[in-house]
Amino acid sequence: MARVLIVDDSPSQLMGMKRIVEKLGHEIITAEDGQQGVEVAKREIPDLILMDVVMPNLNGFQATRSISKEPSTAHIPIILVTTKDQETDKVWGMRQGAKAYLTKPVNEAALVKLVQELLPA
């Protein structure tokens, strides 16, 4: 069982992703904005992070960059899960340190596939 941090300011999106990942047997930790996500990642050191982009305080791009540059959390794979569907957004997200990029509404099969691919065996 892995520990997965889900960072999203939308309670319905958070619950939807939580339900999908829990079905895979993983433990879920949550944060409601990018700043809280960075703090929880540093404190809890999850095995994987699902990160929204459009959030208050610190957006998902900024939070991803912060987590990716911090030596204690740089190894954690981050999947950006967002409504931002432009190719430039995807390129920018990957440059910030994300390992994958999914657009909302989340395709359950695609999310499951990425979670399984990115979690350490």
* Domain CATH code at residue 87: 3.40.50.2300
* Nearest alpha-carbon partner for 37 in 56, 23, 20, 21: 56
pLDDT for residue 29: 98
pLDDT for residue 66: 98
- Locate tokens 């993983």: which residue? 26
pLDDT for residue 121: 65
pLDDT for residue 79: 98
pLDDT in tens, the chain (121 residues): 899 999 999 999 999 999 999 999 999 999 999 999 999 999 999 999 999 999 999 999 999 999 999 999 999 999 999 999 999 999 999 999 999 999 999 999 999 999 999 997 6
Q: How far is CA 1 from the centre of its chain?
A: 17
Tally the domains of the chain: 1
pLDDT for residue 108: 97
Predicted TM-score (pTM) of this structure: 0.97
Range of the domain at 69: 3-118
- Please name the residue ranges forming H helices in 1-121: 11-23, 34-44, 60-69, 87-95, 108-118
